[in-house]
Structure 1
Amino acid sequence: MSVPHPPKVAGIDPSLPSPSHTADPAAPAPLPPPNAVVLDRLAGWVSDLTTLHELTERLTRTRSLDSALHELLRAGAALVGARRGLVTLEPADGLGPVTTVGLGLGRADLGYIETIPRGTASAAHLLDGLPEAHAPRPEVVHPDLAREAGLDPRHREVATRLGYAASYAVPLDPLGEPTDEGGAPVGRLAAPAGRLGAAVWLYDEPTEPFERQRHLLGLYCRHAAEHVARLVELTRARDAAATLHQELLPARLPRVPGVRLAVRHRTGPDGGGDWYDALSLPEGALGLAIGSVSGSGPGAVAAMGRLRASLRAYAVMEGEDPVAVLSDLEMLLRLTEPARTATALFAYCEPLEAPPGSAGGLRIVLAGAGHCPPLIVGEHRTEFVETSLSAPLGMLSCWEAPSMEIEPAAGETLLLYSDGLLHRTGDEMDRAFARLHAAAAGAPRVVRQDPDALVDHVLRTVLPDGLAAIDRTDDVILLAARFD
């Protein structure tokens, strides 16, 4: 009997043995998922460093002490999540400057905060209540002023009045100056020593910054303190140079019959060598002078003082001859200041004898040495007085230039000015001269009658940004003499 065969299905012979197959290769084991906590922490560090870098870059770009303090407050408020704040600058060496700057606080608010007794809170002057710089946590935190026990009643009253419920204060302590092997400081000179001041940020609701915020603010404030210390040093140097420059200029203008004088001047931040003078001379005459010494800084200021004092002496001895005055000044400059040059203009104003029954006139003899030509302003004319194309003092082996003579009419004004007035316009020199001429010519009649009003009008018209622009280093002098 034959064995039955299983039926074939779709061409497959079921009697054949199934082929043997090798096992599939094992898939590689999946990598463990990354630690989300570590990634979050790294991302947070990168974000913090980026933020800190951007804020410190913005602070470093500030060029004045006031702008640096304002930037410090804005950056600190962003780091700790506050809306208002104030910073008090009061260097520990007592040499100043002393100032308080607010963020979101007006002058009245700052004055109200100053009424908090010192030593009772971080808000008042901020300094007495802060720990020393070497303390573990040199900060003062008031997370809830309304509930804080032992708080001075005046502090709580001021907080309620101004609407803040918490505060966080930190000191401004620059790092110590580098010293040599003998312990002598190197690097900065006359830098402020010790604490510079402190900053406090105010919260509208009870709260306090997180540990991460405190850490970032601490890093930022250490950098800010160094930057502020450099600006304090620079401010002191500029103030000293400006004070010296101010002391070397006339303390007051002389009183001369028939002449009214007015002057406006501003010294550049580096202490320039521009100067002016007005002095009474024998026989009722008046001497007017203006000039500039090359260079800037204390050296230029000292040279300017010596040059101005010498010109006064020459003007008393031979003021009626302006060319002789400038010639003597040029010889002195070549002998005593061979590395410097200077510009100068001297005008000798003397009254003329009047015939009986008529009013006397005035004669002006002037000479210039490379200085800008003066401007005569009157009701019927506004024109430059050409003082010849002479070279500045100290540039030629033998200086000489002719003098000019004018007779101003009653009511006319002579304007002497420094080249810094033209440079501050930002225009080319020909356009700057045109702007000055247009400003003087466009002065209303009532303004021309008062030399003080006239110089103010010219400055407002020629310099729309005013004399106090911190980004300009040029000295500006504008001297007006009105002849009645």
Structure 2
Amino acid sequence: MNAPPPPKVAGIDPTVPTPAHTVAPAPPAPEAGPAPDVPAGTPPPVAAPDASGSLLQDQLAGWVSDLTTLHELTERMCRTSALQDALEELLRAGAALVGARRGLVALEPGDGLGPRTTLGLGLGRADLGHIETVPRDALLTDGTGGPAVHADLFAEPGLDPRHREVAARLGYAASYALPLTTDSARLGAAVWLYDEPAAPDEHHRHLIGRYLRQAAEHLALLLEVERTRACAATLTEELLPSRLPRLPGVQLAVRHRTGPRGGGDWYDALPLPDAALGLSVGSVTGGGPGAVAAMGRLRASLRAYAVMEGEDPVAVLSDLELLLRLTEPARSATALFAYCEPAARRITLAGAGHSPPLLLGERRTEYVETSLSAPLGMLACWEAPSVEFRVGPGETVLLYTDGLLHRTGEAMDRAFARLHSAAASVPRALRGDPGAVADHVLRTLLPEDGTGDDEDVVLLAARFD
């Protein structure tokens, strides 16, 4: 009777030869004869162990152990969601499979679209710098794109001199490198370094080869995600001001963090006639390229309305509301526009579904009271009036998007309280620099564990002299 083949585990299709049999053929039965006399109480004879069956059991146990190991390592790789985390996991798993202590992975997509990076295991930045000077063909491939095995770098004839020199400097005596490839793309290569002359045997080469085939597929997916995020971030940055204007009587600073999907948060600072300044922040609902494109259209329209009638923020937002309702009825947006007169330190602002600005001074830290209004695209008619207030010398006005509050992970009332506390805790020595004020608020307010990182954040600080 044949033994059943071992089950497939986690997508790994092991090439396991089917054994010819599991039990040795029974010897021919002896001829029947008179039964010998057996004393009462004598235990039955114990059959001698079958050497062939024990060997097969050992082989099956080894195959199951290998498959279990590959399953666990592949599952850990698939749980990674960031490219750098996946590369670090690949290095750790590969080092365990080939019995090495150090290694590096060079991500160099064959299509040339990037990103390109080199990550080390047990290697410092200076060590990676030395290894970068070794020709790629000498270190990572055998010249034909296959594995590069250097079992003894100091005894191997014809080795690249630079490779031997770097090995002596870093203290490794052998290396084993494999390409990272999928069925359709070349991603780069990984190399593991041994402190003594060594090389993985055929069994461990088979295991690491199977693991890298699975890992490369996951890396290819993360690479596409990384490229998409980078494109969305680049598009967003290109649609926002490349620099802030410089006007007498006011200093500006902005901090903008884009979520992985590329959201629709924006900011703007626009010089206006009569030495005035227009400041705006806002957010378009949704995410991805569609929200980014809508944000660009909305911000460009707001700039035009601000130039024509910026001294009346309600008129600016009313025009923007009408435009959004007519051209993109399926979208809504929040917005705040402030008309600033730096010489008089006077600000007139209006908001649509947006959080109130925060005023930070030597003697006060308080939210500006603004009229309530629904978001743009949801107004039947404009009912919220504008608000006018003055700021004192050296005071800073903070404009921000709701993503700053959402990233705290708190309910909105607690998030507002935490923002107020973060602003009030800015040291006096930093309050003369709006950039330092913004950095302190973000550092104090946002959690270090990355909670809410899918939200866009805009924090615009304006300090009046």
TM-score scaled by structure 1?
0.85
Contact 1:130 1:139 in 2 (8 A): no
Structure 1 match to 2:262:
271
Deviation at 1:443, TM superposition (A): 1.2
1:320 alignment partner in structure 2: 311
Structure 2's unaligned 5+ residue stretches are: 1-33
Write out per-residue CA displacement over residues 57-108 of structure 1, whole angstroms, 9 at most, x where no aligned residue. 1111111111110100000000110000000001111111110000000010
Match of 1:67 among 67, 85, 94: 85
Structure 2 residue corresponding to 1:33, chosen from 15, 34, 50: 50
Q: CA deviation at 1:361?
A: 2.3
Structure 2 distance, partners of 1:130, 1:62, is: 32
Check conservation: 2:87, 2:119, Cα contact below 8 A.
yes
Residues 266, 283 of structure 1: CA spacing in aligned structure 2 closer, same or farther, 3 A cutoff?
A: same
Match in the other structure for 1:169:
177
3-state SS of paired residue (1:474) = coil
Counterpart of 1:93?
Answer: 111
Aligned to 2:132: 114
- Residue of 45, 52, 55 corresponding to 2:63: 45
CA deviation map 1:341-369 (0-9, x unaligned):
10000000125xxxxxxxx5221110111
Partner amino acid, structure 1, of 2:428: R
Aligned partner letter, 2:296? G
Give the direction of change, closer, same or farther, for the CA distance of 1:316–1:22 in structure 2 (3 Å limit): closer
Q: Corresponding residue for 2:385?
A: 402
8 A Cα contact 1:373 1:386, kept in partner: yes
Q: Does 1:459 align with 2:450?
A: no
- Residue 154 of structure 1, aligned match among 147, 151, 162: 162
Q: Which whole-Å deviations, capped at 9, do the CAs of 1:225-280 have from their partners, x for residues lacking one?
A: 11111111111111111000000000110111100000111111110000000000
Match of 1:361 among 338, 344, 348: 344
Answer yes or no: is 1:385 the counterpart of 2:347: no
Answer whether contact 1:175 1:222 (CA < 8 A) is retained.
no
Where 1:242 maps in the other structure, the secondary structure is helix
Give the alignment of 1:427-442 within 5 angstroms.
427-442=410-425
Candidates 232, 236, 251, aligned match of 2:242: 251
Deviation at 1:445, TM superposition (A): 1.6
What displacement does 1:130 show? 4.8
- TM-fit CA distance, 1:391: 0.8
For the 8 Å contact 2:154–2:164, the answer to whether it is kept is yes
Mind listing any 5+ residue stretches in structure 1 that lack a counterpart? 1-20, 133-137, 177-193, 352-359
Q: Tell me by how many angstroms 1:114 deviates.
A: 1.2
Cα shift at 1:455: 0.7
State how far apart, in whole Å, the 1-side matches of 2:177 and 2:447 are: 40
Instruction: Report the Cα distance in structure 1 between the residues aligned to 2:402 and 2:462, rounded to whole angstroms.
Output: 18
Mapped contact 1:393–1:399 kept (Cα < 8 A) = no
Q: Percent identity over the alignment?
A: 71
Residue matched to 2:25: none
1:131 pairs, out of 130, 139, 144, with: 144
Q: 2:24: which partner in 1?
A: none
Superposed CA RMSD: 1.9
Q: 1:399 to 1:131 in 2, by over 3 A?
A: farther
Q: For 2:36 and 2:171, locate their aligned partners in 1 and report how far apart those are by CA, in whole Å.
A: 77
Question: Aligned partner of 2:453: which letter?
Answer: R
1:470 to 1:408, Cα distance in 2 relative to 1, 3 A:
closer
Deviation string for 1:386-433 (max 9, x for gaps)? 222211111233343111110111111100011111111111111111
Equivalences, count? 427
Runs of 4+ in 1 over 6 A off after TM superposition: 21-29
For 2:455, the equivalent position in structure 1 comes to 474
Which secondary structure does the structure 2 equivalent of 1:409 belong to? coil
Rate the CA distance shift 1:24–1:264 in 2: closer, same or farther, 3 A.
same
The superposition leaves residues 305-330 of structure 1 with CA deviations (integer Å, 9 ceiling, x where unpaired) of: 00000000000111111111111101
Bigger Rg, which one: 1
- Residue 383 of structure 2 aligns to which amino acid in structure 1? E
Hey, what's the Cα distance between the residues in 1 that align with 2:269 and 2:129?
43
> 2:231 is matched with which residue: 236, 240, 250?
240
Q: Give the residue type in structure 2 aligned to 1:409.
A: G
